[in-house]
Amino acid sequence: MKGKKPYPRNNDIADAILEVLSKKPYIHPDDLPDEVRAALEDKGFYAGLVSNKRIWRMYEKLVKSGKMYDVLMVMQSEGDIQM
């Protein structure tokens, strides 16, 4: 009998985001959370309780820290807003 699957930590979610975006750079933003959860499940984590909000928070943290470019173009900086 197997034990419980481990719950993913923030760095595991960040790694899954980077993995998904490297394999599918043209993914629609609406599909990202499901793809990230699938990648986490493939790595042996229990991703059932990983929320969309947590995934997007990690995405934002990766972009703001400079570890990743905003490839999905979902974040707007104040300088990009035009009227």
Domain boundaries, the chain: 10-65
Predicted pLDDT at 42: 97
Say how far residue 78 (Cα) sits from the centre of its chain: 23
Regions of the chain where pLDDT drops below 50: 79-83
**CA distance linking residue 48 with residue 45, whole number of Å:** 9
pLDDT of residue 77: 61
Neighbours of 53 (CB within 10 A): 9
